[in-house]
Structure 1
Amino acid sequence: MKKIYILGIIMAAFVSCSDFIEEENLSGESADSFYVTPDGFNSLINANYEKLRDIYGDSPFLFEGGTDLISKGRGQGPLGLTEYRDLNSTSDGVADLYNECYAAIQLANRAIYYAELTEQTAELPVLVSEVKFLRALSYFLLVQTYGGVAITDYIDSPVLEFDRNTAEEVYIQIISDLEDAIAGASDGAYFGRVNKRAAKNLLAKVYLTRGYEPFGSQNDFTTAAALADEVIGGEALNLPFSEVFRPGNDLNEEVIFSVQFDAASISADPDGLGSRQYAYFGSYLGGSEVQGQAPARDYSSSPTDFAISLFTEDDARWEGTFMTEIFYIDTDDYTGPSYFTYYRVPEEEHNSLTVIEFYEPQWFTPEDKANYLATKNLAPSFKYHNYGEYSSEWTDTVSLDYEVICVKKFDDPSPTTAFGGRSSTRDIILSRLAETYLVAAEAYLQAGQASTGLLRLNAVRNRAGVADATIGEFDIDYILDERARELFGEYHRWFDLKRTGKLVERTSLYNNQVNESDFNGAGALKILRPIPQQALDLNQNNDFPQNPAYN
């Protein structure tokens, strides 16, 4: 690999490393003397894991924006990423993933470099395997988002001229890193560090994604299916869906890999160090977060009508995904809506509580509505939100507080949490067993083994309590619908649509803020994000190509 980089990314990586040394290297040793000790090298490994927070811990727009499931609420996200019309190399948010992933790659390269120099211990090969997984994950995010990108070695001085590797070459690098990770990582249970199962799981997703590329092959789908089945290993989906996301249960049996957060690690700067996944996917909650009664919602990423329509009455994922009732309390300290009362009062007592907001599901009949209104304790300012009147489309008409249904999967009701900015202590689940079943389903379908794929998909539906899908309806659109129900808001959707070639079709069909023509640009479709302008400006290689649609 060439030692290629851009100054801005090098400086970002050096700043991250400098901050880390200031916090951990109290002796003031140089990197050359610090990282060659077991304690110093372990600190470098920890810095690699910490970088995941910068990649995933902030806004969701690169992962969920501009899709069939999420569109603008009352607030505005970065318009280029969410609506495509003004998407260009200087658009807000375009450089975020590029910079953070390259900073992560530089940290990984640093660890791999110092692994040759540090004191050799029995643990060292395992740590290097973990770092190779993390590097592969960053490259995988980059190649899906931007196409072919530069592959880099560890560097210790700025290099201002660099070339662009092909997407095929990047996939080869990713697969090589993950094969090394599988060979060397721990075979133990997941406790927050990369293990063999996590590496196999990511490799299955990589092969599945490569199979759709022009340089992919049918064998990629077959390999993906086999790897996914190895990860599943006969394990059933035993946890109820609601338990997978129950606060305080982040390291449950279904989780394969996640970004780790806890109160102690973010206490120095909760707004700067915590997770913001909880802060999106719903409406502003009337200021009650100030009193610790609700999370601080951004109101810029709301479920579409289509997303809400995917759930049926018998699907446990409806109640497991959305907060359908908001309770009201009247105490000496506070009177008003109390979102967190849902968690603070035992579930068996919920029917006796006073309700201030209710979001009607699509299967309610007029009789169901009348019965609800007659049997519930209703607050004086109670509002009944009819089906079809609480989505992102509804905010074009009404944009008041509580007008959009909220996603509750990522809620952090801990009383020690500061409810502002990036303050959640919940982990961000990047991969879990149910998604692996769906990866297997898709891979088997594309490998020409639809009946086997249908079994994997129906295992997910069985856990949700819904009827089996039939072979006649089992196609890629059905899989995408099932992924929407199971994985709503979990940072997969843009990549799902991009991978399957459905980004333009489904987004323009189901997101009322995007038209098919919005994807047109410079004679090509905007199905990759543009290479950030800052990277182009700092590159002295004038032949470095921008992505199609942005020239």
Structure 2
Amino acid sequence: MKQHTLLHIAAIITLGLSACSKQLDEVNPNTKIAYSQINKNNLPLLINGAKLALTNNNSFYSYYGLQDIMSDDFQSLSYTTYESNNIASNDNTLGPVYKQPYQCIANANIAIRYAQQFPGDSSISAALGEALLLRAFSYMLLTESFGDVVIVNGGEDPKNRPARNPVAEVNQLIETDLKNAIDQLPVYTNALSASKQSAQLLLARFYLNRGRNDEALTMANNVISAGKFTLQSNFADIFKSSVNSPEAVYKINETSISTFYGLPNLYGQGGTGQAGFGNTFADSNLVKSYEPADIRRSYFVRTKGASILDSVYFLSKFPQELTPSYVICRYSEAFLIVAEANARKGTVDVTTYNQLRSARNASTVNNADFATPAAFLAAIEQERRREFIGERLRWSDMQRFGKINTWLQSFGQPITHVLMPLPSREFFINPNLSQNADYSK
């Protein structure tokens, strides 16, 4: 167990105002057409291009899990500076953490700009809603990693070199986008398309992390009461790209590439026929906290890794597929948000906590088992670790549960290292940027 910044504005305008090709869902179009040639029929392709921007060059897995490696859920011999919470600003892995969300935002901005010309047009409301959701999610990725970031609306002067917007301003944009997405999006039919429920669940997460528990409770309960999802025993299906699992609320698939990419590559044990570096492994105490019959317990493999002499636990719940899949939000999160929001409001109510544990074949509890809401919150925190390991939620959880400062100090790092440094290359592009505290440019 372990003891933007900004893309070059000109590049954004290239992606944005001229934005497309004969195949608008290509991230790097080779035949550009004018913004005026975007129409209602090809708008969904532009939305797909925004999704592909997040996963461009099959890079999503390489930055999706970095905060989990920084946390107490994993140890890694491959990402040592993240493991030690002391990231160098010139680290090659850091670039996509910053760059890819902004590429998604650039495409989403174009779609939003186009769709807003036709207020009330139901034929494009779903596309507008998904663009709003993707922009909000991208800014969530950026602020969680870097804190203050530049808000890009599209159409900026390419000679302008803006400073970073305060987190409060970015959070306001995220909240507004998700609220507007809820109004525009249809109810859930398929996890590969954004839905009203996916925007509600992301907003519930956003509110929970801001301490706005009443609002988090409302949004999470809306997802549960929609009647569109079910907790199921076939846990592995949630993470399969080709299965429309009733637990996956929203997911993004990469382009088909190789079975040796995606999250199995980050967390896998490696070896013959197996994806993975074999150098990033789960906290053994966490793995041992699963009850023997818990279906989630079987998704760990105890073996030796590439450079590890002792047997350790590798996470195997992400399947090796030609099309790697990333579940952005899933149904079980709503159940634990309800339990946590109630506890933070002073009420111990184990109903949704038990519903999730029953679905995972784990034992249930009674309200009387917890002397205080704080005791129940400790159980919820541990349940979130068991449920969401490897899904990029632990770092925010450690902050919300008051664990982050002690964790950073145990590595001899300042508490400001809760954030990553801005990539050093960004300061050559925009000299008006400032670096995060206790990092060098």
TM-score by length of 1: 0.69
CA distance in 2, matches of 1:260, 1:210: 29
CA distance in 2, matches of 1:501, 1:98: 26
CA distance in 1, matches of 2:226, 2:270: 42
82 and 9 in structure 1: CA distance in 2 versus 1, 3 angstrom threshold: farther
Residue 175 of structure 1 deviates from its aligned partner by: 0.7
491 and 146 in structure 1: CA distance in 2 versus 1, 3 angstrom threshold: same
CA distance in 2, matches of 1:208, 1:429: 19
Answer yes or no: is the 8 Å Cα contact 1:204–1:224 preserved in 2.
Answer: yes
Tell me, what secondary structure is at the counterpart of 2:412? helix
Summarize deviations over 1:431-490 as a string: whole Å, max 9, x none: 1111221122222222222x23x3222222222222224323734432221112112222
**Is the counterpart of residue 280 in structure 1 residue 251 in structure 2?**
no
Residue 69 of structure 1 deviates from its aligned partner by: 1.3
Higher mean C-alpha deviation, range 54-63 or range 403-412 = 54-63
CA distance in 1, matches of 2:17, 2:49: 8
Identity of aligned residues (%): 22
Tell me, what secondary structure is at the counterpart of 1:519? coil
Structure 1 unpaired stretches of 5+? 212-219, 290-294, 324-358, 360-384, 418-423, 509-514
Which residue matches 2:220?
Answer: 228
Given candidates 321, 334, 358, the residue that maps to 1:462 is: 358
Answer yes or no: is the 8 Å Cα contact 2:231–2:332 preserved in 1.
Answer: no
Which residue matches 1:154?
Answer: 154
Which residue matches 2:392?
Answer: 491
Answer yes or no: is the 8 Å Cα contact 1:256–1:431 preserved in 2.
Answer: yes
Which residue matches 1:474?
Answer: 375
AA paired with 1:42?
P
Summarize deviations over 1:157-212 as a string: whole Å, max 9, x none: 5244212221111111111111100111112423411111111111100111112x
Residue 81 of structure 1 deviates from its aligned partner by: 1.9
AA paired with 2:421?
P
Given candidates 396, 410, 415, the residue that maps to 1:516 is: 410
**Is the counterpart of residue 34 in structure 1 residue 37 in structure 2?**
yes
Residue 30 of structure 1 deviates from its aligned partner by: 2.3
Summarize deviations over 1:194-236 as a string: whole Å, max 9, x none: 111111111100111112xxxxxxxx11110121111111758
Which residue matches 1:407?
Answer: 315
Structure 2 unpaired stretches of 5+? none
Summarize deviations over 1:24-80 as a string: whole Å, max 9, x none: 599956223321x2333332122123223247344544242111111125xx12x32
How many pairs does the alignment contain?
426
Structure of larger gyration radius? 1
**Is the counterpart of residue 537 in structure 1 residue 428 in structure 2?**
yes
AA paired with 2:413?
F
AA paired with 2:40?
P
Answer yes or no: is the 8 Å Cα contact 1:6–1:159 preserved in 2.
Answer: no
Answer yes or no: is the 8 Å Cα contact 1:80–1:92 preserved in 2.
Answer: no
User: 1:95-110 counterparts in 2 under 5 A?
Assistant: 95-110=95-110
184 and 478 in structure 1: CA distance in 2 versus 1, 3 angstrom threshold: same
TM-score by length of 2: 0.85
Given candidates 282, 289, 296, the residue that maps to 1:303 is: 282
Answer yes or no: is the 8 Å Cα contact 1:139–1:170 preserved in 2.
Answer: yes
CA distance in 2, matches of 1:276, 1:298: 12
12 and 164 in structure 1: CA distance in 2 versus 1, 3 angstrom threshold: closer
Which residue matches 1:446?
Answer: 344
Which residue matches 1:46?
Answer: 48
Tell me, what secondary structure is at the counterpart of 1:259? strand
Given candidates 278, 281, 293, the residue that maps to 1:314 is: 293
**Structure possessing the higher relative contact order (Cα contacts under 8 Å, 6 or more residues apart):** 1
Tell me, what secondary structure is at the counterpart of 1:256? strand
CA distance in 2, matches of 1:278, 1:12: 31
AA paired with 1:281?
Y
Which residue matches 2:164?
Answer: 164
Tell me, what secondary structure is at the counterpart of 1:65? helix
Residue 310 of structure 1 deviates from its aligned partner by: 1.9
Residue 88 of structure 1 deviates from its aligned partner by: 3.4
Answer yes or no: is the 8 Å Cα contact 2:129–2:181 preserved in 1.
Answer: yes
Summarize deviations over 1:264-317 as a string: whole Å, max 9, x none: x52xxx25x9951121223222xx22xxxxx22212311122232222223221
Which residue matches 1:329?
Answer: none
29 and 97 in structure 1: CA distance in 2 versus 1, 3 angstrom threshold: closer
Answer yes or no: is the 8 Å Cα contact 2:269–2:305 preserved in 1.
Answer: no
CA distance in 1, matches of 2:31, 2:305: 54
Summarize deviations over 1:382-439 as a string: whole Å, max 9, x none: xxx6xxxx699xx65x16xxx4443221123xxxx6xxxxxx3242212111122112
CA distance in 1, matches of 2:113, 2:152: 12
User: 1:363-442 counterparts in 2 under 5 A?
Assistant: 398=309, 403-412=311-320, 424-442=322-340
Residue 137 of structure 1 deviates from its aligned partner by: 0.5
User: 1:493-508 counterparts in 2 under 5 A?
Assistant: 493-505=394-406, 507=407
Cα RMSD of the aligned pairs, angstroms, is 3.3
CA distance in 2, matches of 1:410, 1:7: 31
CA distance in 2, matches of 1:109, 1:41: 12
CA distance in 2, matches of 1:125, 1:174: 18
Answer yes or no: is the 8 Å Cα contact 1:280–1:298 preserved in 2.
Answer: yes
Residue 117 of structure 1 deviates from its aligned partner by: 5.5
AA paired with 1:494?
W
Answer yes or no: is the 8 Å Cα contact 1:391–1:405 preserved in 2.
Answer: no
Tell me, what secondary structure is at the counterpart of 2:327? strand
CA distance in 1, matches of 2:288, 2:305: 10
CA distance in 1, matches of 2:423, 2:22: 30
Which residue matches 1:137?
Answer: 137
Tell me, what secondary structure is at the counterpart of 1:406? strand
Answer yes or no: is the 8 Å Cα contact 2:70–2:83 preserved in 1.
Answer: yes
Residue 250 of structure 1 deviates from its aligned partner by: 2.9
81 and 16 in structure 1: CA distance in 2 versus 1, 3 angstrom threshold: farther
490 and 184 in structure 1: CA distance in 2 versus 1, 3 angstrom threshold: same
Higher mean C-alpha deviation, range 222-231 or range 476-485 = 476-485
CA distance in 2, matches of 1:64, 1:442: 21
**Is the counterpart of residue 547 in structure 1 residue 436 in structure 2?**
yes
Higher mean C-alpha deviation, range 156-165 or range 16-25 = 16-25
Answer yes or no: is the 8 Å Cα contact 2:73–2:283 preserved in 1.
Answer: yes
Which residue matches 1:381?
Answer: none
AA paired with 1:437?
F
57 and 14 in structure 1: CA distance in 2 versus 1, 3 angstrom threshold: farther
